[in-house]
A and B are shown apart, each in its own frame.
Chain A
Amino acid sequence: MQPMPNATVEPKSDPAKVAAVTARSLSIFFGNHAVLKNVSIDIGARAVTAIIGPSGCGKSTFLRSINRMHELNPDARMEGEIRLFGDDIYSRDVEPVVVRRRVGMVFQKSNPFPTMSIAENVTVGLRLNGERNKKILASRTEESLRMAALWDEVKDRLHAPAISLSGGQQQRLCIARALAVQPEVLLMDEPASALDPLATQKIEDLIIELKKDYTIVIVTHNMQQAARSSDFTAFFYLGELVEFGPTTRIFTNPVQKRTEDYVTGRFG
């Protein structure tokens, strides 16, 4: 595979300089099975970091460890350390709920709440965390939907059921819902893999727009997507972080043989 003609220009800042998420010797086990092995990485703030790798390489688990969602599996166990802007998110006195307010997540399958309207879906995170002020809720609804590039399409039917939207719109609604609680980091687990090319394009444009304000980590199976929309790329294989660097370099001049084989489509 040739490097994408529209691949992102190599960013000027080093990812380690302003790190939003730093993992040190991170290992995650489900039962006795090590899904992640000794991963250390610095994820830069206000940049898009793509996580690539074949199925079962641990990339989703890595993503979910950043907001402690992997703990929903009762057999999960972690070693090592993850810091979010310096704060140890696995410290004993830190509740997962607090971590998840700072680190939002968008899932592969869009999942707006079917019992709620479009507006209610956007504000659910605020409302269920105690926000009652109607003015704040209304302004945050518009703000979040605008950021998710959905406002113009839904502003006249905010009270329509969320499931009346198309698949691509539903996914952008989920992004708006995640943004409404104003997280510092946004995790995306293959956010466009269930969408058609046009809807995918919109999500990718959105990701590039969002990185002005947010740190974004995106898991993707789609090489072109990683090349198009990310600044940094991390290649995971069999639970290990094989290579991490600026996206342009990973796709044009990888150091590791395994990375080259994967990004050129020789396996995976």
Chain B
Amino acid sequence: MTVSNHHWRKAINVFMQALTFVCAILVILPLLLVFFYLLKQGAGAVNWAFFTELPKPVGEVGGGMANAILGTFILILLASCLGVPVGVLGGVFLSEYRHRQLNWWIRFTADIINGVPSITWGMVVYALIVLPMKGFSTLAGGVVLGLIMIPLIMRTTEEVLQLVPNGYREAALALGIAQWRVIVQIVLRTALKGIVTGVMLALARVAGETAPLLFTAFGNAYWTHRLTEPIAALPLQIFNYAISPYDDWHRQAWAGALVLILLISGINICVRTLTRDRFSKRA
């Protein structure tokens, strides 16, 4: 091998390394841009009233998004009531009860459903719940977000359960423990952190959904007292305020976006802290 060849290879190595570094930076750049822009535009409108007061009518200055913030939490809670049990149990079926053909179809369907645009979900739930009940409702909003969560949680649960070494299942079964107890007490317990991670990430994902809520939760400017009433949610409020012609509402929309991204980042940070010691342990 010639010397010049060697130099050439070194140069290419340096160049490619720099290129991959730049690409890596490009990945985080949008997040930083979004974050700083939101801070610049929205931080001014984030104050105590924003978290405690209801929206004011057009023309009146001030007011907040308290109902939308609470609404988002209520919707996430409702969605979890549907998405977590169905998703986790579905994942358990896929991972623990190997039914070859059925599993193939379930996985295939779940993956397709994962790719269905969320607005489609909104229309489906509109037809299934809003129309028969003759009105937009909190219930419909929770159901649509729950439906979006199911395939996400199901697939992550399955993957995490597959990471549990088979030796644990065999050891437990060899002790004469019934299979359902093995699943609950050994397999799920071993994989608990991973499942929690999957659930939290699914929560973070649906917390920001807007399109399906347009057809279901609809949004309002008041506190919601019943599951059959429409309910406000942060993404909806941001959307409604952002398309309005009022400067004050625009500022509030920026503030809402900032709060929403902080909320989602908060969930993600919780996940990372909760699962930090996962890989330091022996597998």
Query: A residues within 8 Å of B by Cβ?
Result: 67, 69, 72, 74, 97-102, 104-105, 107, 109, 111, 113-115, 124-125, 128-129, 163, 174, 177-178, 181
Partner of B170, one of A111, A115, A125: A111
Determine whether the beta carbon of B176 is less than 8 Å from that of A125. yes
Determine whether the beta carbon of A107 is less than 8 Å from that of B175. no
B197 to chain A, nearest CB (A): 16
Determine whether the beta carbon of A69 is less than 8 Å from that of B168. no
Partner of A111, one of B98, B165, B177, B189: B165
Determine whether the beta carbon of B190 is less than 8 Å from that of A111. no
In the assembled complex, the Cα of A72 lies from the Cα of B190 at a distance in Å of: 20
Query: B residues within 8 Å of A by Cβ?
Result: 98, 165, 167-168, 170-178, 181-182, 185-186, 189-190, 192, 281-282
Determine whether the beta carbon of A125 is less than 8 Å from that of B167. no
Determine whether the beta carbon of B173 is less than 8 Å from that of A69. yes
Q: Which residues of B contact A101 (CB under 8 A)?
A: 175-176
In the assembled complex, the Cα of A163 lies from the Cα of B280 at a distance in Å of: 12
Q: Which residues of A contact B190 (CB under 8 A)?
A: 113-115
In the assembled complex, the Cα of A109 lies from the Cα of B169 at a distance in Å of: 13
In the assembled complex, the Cα of A102 lies from the Cα of B175 at a distance in Å of: 9
Partner of A129, one of B173, B176, B189, B282: B176
Determine whether the beta carbon of A125 is less than 8 Å from that of B282. no
The 4 closest A-B pairs by CB, nearest first: A101-B176, A125-B175, A111-B167, A105-B174
Determine whether the beta carbon of A69 is less than 8 Å from that of B170. yes
B174 to chain A, nearest CB (A): 4
Determine whether the beta carbon of A100 is less than 8 Å from that of B282. no
Partner of A109, one of B98, B167, B186, B281: B167
Partner of B172, one of A102, A109, A124: A124
Beyond A72-B170, A109-B167, whether A114 also contacts B281 by CB under 8 A is yes
Beyond A69-B170, A107-B167, whether A113 also contacts B176 by CB under 8 A is no
> Known pairs A72-B170, A113-B168. 18 more at Cβ < 8 A?
A69-B173, A69-B174, A72-B173, A100-B175, A102-B176, A105-B170, A107-B171, A109-B167, A113-B190, A114-B168, A114-B281, A125-B175, A125-B176, A128-B175, A128-B178, A174-B171, A177-B175, A181-B176
Beyond A72-B173, A163-B282, A174-B171, whether A97 also contacts B189 by CB under 8 A is no
B120 to chain A, nearest CB (A): 37
Q: Which residues of A contact B176 (CB under 8 A)?
A: 97-102, 125, 129, 181
